[in-house]
Amino acid sequence: MSAVLAESLAPARYVPAALPATTIPVAAGDGIGPEIMDATLAILKAADPALAFHAVTVGLKAYEGGLMAGIGEDTWQAIDQHKIILKGPITTPQGGGYKSVNVTLRKTLGLYANLRPCVSYHPYVTALHPTMDVVIVRENEEDTYAGIEHRQSDEVVQCLKLITRPGCERIVRYAFEYARAHGRKKVTCMTKDNIMKLTDGLFHKVFDEIAPQYPEIATSHMIIDIGTARMASRPTDFDVVVTPNLYGDILSDVAAEVAGSIGLAGSSNIGHDCAMFEAVHGSAPDIAGKDIANPSGLLLSAVMMLVHLGRAKPATDIHNAWLCTLEEGLHTGDIYRDGVSRRKVGTREFAEAVIARLGQQPKKMAAVDYPEREPESLVHPDVSIPPHVNAKKALVGVDVFLNWDTDTRDPNELGAALEGLAGEDFRLALITNRGVKVYPNGNPQTLRTDHWRCRFPALKETVDGQAISRLLMRIADAGFDAVKTENLYTFDGVRGYSQAQGE
Ligand code: NAD
């Protein structure tokens, strides 16, 4: 269906808003991408004729053209010019070397906030929880998704979990600003700071610092495991949830499924200068080209895009027409249920049904009414540098990680050797294996891999980098393989490193 044809499907009495012209770069994507994008653009064009769409190259076509990130130069230029992109799902080719388009776009464009509304449309779409309406605000750039991984020995690989104060500040502020702008009543922070006291602890701390600046919004904190369980069992306890990257990724898929179907979930990726809108689901190669895919996830993402652009009327009209279509039982195969649905429709027919209902209000489900706002009026939080970021930093020791292997892997043997290498600047305080203390006085039950963390606190109050270099030289000269070091600092006298289990 072409966008031009779609205009003629709009009911005669429907008067689209007269809005300024604007151009949206559009990446159709792979698999079902082109068909759901075609359907979505037809609906957009009917409700907002001043929109122009500029097709750009992303996904398989770009990969096949030798671009390992799957993104054409034309895409970067278009985003640079228009600061926005509507993107279909991408198939990432299997095998080494190919980079995820999504991760590359999110990181390169600084799209730090990933918003995933999860709403149930009961009784028209079967849902585990009929009255669910939650927005997950997921941090989108940091955490283990920074993608800094290293293999350090035969047996041990590591992934660096990076959480930064500016990163926490802007995502937490964004969640509160979003809640305020959209009349949401409560923001819940989810972390695992009972275990990761420094990284998740910082996220939680920043949340507690910022929350009082939004006194009209209720707040709570939950540990992510019970929080995820509660999202499945009692999602109505939640309104807006803000959480680090990995937890947000998992939690939002759980929430979308509990709400009815991941196929209905839209999302936005918001940065300071740019924004990307895409469905949560993938390219569904199993049903590609059959005109049976549900375009709703992409369509609701496009509605979020219109709201972001300050085009409230077409956003409201499309959303309500879509609710009417659901209510009237015109359902694509993925949500079709005997006794609930009236007719099974394909992708094109579904889009035509939405267009034909532009200007109508749903009769049973609550209609939406997006308020008129300036484009991007959601204030982008400025990242402040509070005084304690300039804390007095003191070097008080070093953790040296060794790749060490013998037949016995006896920590007492390693300990005795390292005690002799500590020198006049350090003492050997302990050795851990996978974070568990094995020397001195370890428990023989502890699994011992070939990767040992050896903690050398300074004998004096502080130490300098040269002393650490001399220690490392002695360790190397003794034939040990130091695979990594972590300096131990205090900040304003507070230790900036975790204690070992059993320390
Ligand atoms: P998927 O979401 O593509 O499909 C999972 C199941 O849901 C399939 O049975 C599919 O038919 C169905 N489904 C998905 N969207 C649907 C829709 N709109 N209408 C009806 N049914 C729908 O997940 P997958 O199979 O794990 O991944 C397929 C490909 O998509 C992979 O290459 C993956 O890397 C990619 N992917 C891309 C994105 C993205 O670009 N944002 C996200 C997730 C997965």
Q: Is 429 helix (H, G, I), strand (E, B) or coil?
A: coil
**Which residue type sits at 217?**
I
Give the C-alpha separation, 351 to 356, whole Å: 9
Q: Is the CB of 257 under 6 A from ligand 1?
A: no
Handedness of CA 288, 113, 115, 308 (dihedral sign): negative
Q: Is 214 helix (H, G, I), strand (E, B) or coil?
A: coil
Q: Is the CB of 90 under 6 A from ligand 1?
A: yes
Give the C-alpha separation, 203 to 247, whole Å: 12
Q: Cα of 281 to ligand 1 centre, how many Å?
A: 5
Our answer to whether residue 247 is catalytic in this structure is no
In angstroms, what CA-CA distances link 66 with 18, 88, 102, 143?
Answer: 42, 20, 17, 30
- Residue ranges and CATH numbers for the domains of the chain are 1-113+262-390 (3.40.718.10), 128-259 (3.40.718.10), 392-495 (3.30.70.1570)
Residue 4: per-residue pLDDT: 45
Give the C-alpha separation, 29 to 27, whole Å: 6
Cα-atom radius of gyration of the chain, to the nearest Å?
27
Q: Is the CB of 278 under 6 A from ligand 1?
A: yes
**The model's pTM:** 0.90
Cβ atoms of 431 and 366 closer than 8 Å: no
Our answer to whether residue 192 is catalytic in this structure is yes
Q: Cα of 422 to ligand 1 centre, how many Å?
A: 55
Reported as type and span, the H/E element at residue 436 is: strand 436-439
- Among candidate residues 159, 155, 189, the one with its CA nearest the CA of residue 172: 189
Q: Cα of 266 to ligand 1 centre, how many Å?
A: 13
Q: Is the CB of 57 under 6 A from ligand 1?
A: no
Residue 1: per-residue pLDDT: 47
Our answer to whether residue 154 is catalytic in this structure is no
Give the C-alpha separation, 56 to 73, whole Å: 9
- To the nearest 10°, report the CA torsion of 335, 336, 340, 344: 140
Per-residue pLDDT tens, the chain, 503 aa: give them: 444 445 556 676 888 888 999 999 999 999 999 999 999 999 999 999 999 999 999 998 888 888 888 899 999 999 999 999 999 999 888 776 778 888 889 888 989 999 999 999 988 988 888 889 999 999 999 999 888 899 999 999 999 999 999 999 999 999 999 999 889 999 999 999 999 999 999 999 999 999 999 999 999 999 999 999 999 999 999 999 999 999 999 999 899 888 887 889 999 999 988 999 999 999 999 999 999 999 999 999 999 999 999 999 999 999 999 999 999 999 999 999 998 899 999 999 999 999 999 999 999 999 999 988 776 555 566 555 555 568 899 999 999 999 999 999 999 999 999 999 999 999 999 999 999 999 999 998 999 999 999 999 999 999 999 999 999 999 999 999 999 999 999 999 999 999 877 67
Give the C-alpha separation, 116 to 269, whole Å: 9
Residue 448: per-residue pLDDT: 95
DSSP string, 219-252: EEEEEHHHHHHHHHH-GGG-SEEEE-HHHHHHHH
Given 63, 112, 124, 145, the catalytic residue: 145
Q: Whats the size of the chain, residue-wise?
A: 503
Residue 316: per-residue pLDDT: 97
Give the C-alpha separation, 160 to 486, whole Å: 12
Our answer to whether residue 249 is catalytic in this structure is yes
Q: Cα of 33 to ligand 1 centre, how many Å?
A: 10
Cβ atoms of 46 and 299 closer than 8 Å: no
109 φ, ψ (degrees, to nearest 5): -90, 0
In this structure, the strands spanning 51-55 and 22-27 are parallel
Cβ atoms of 245 and 140 closer than 8 Å: yes
Q: Is the CB of 35 under 6 A from ligand 1?
A: no
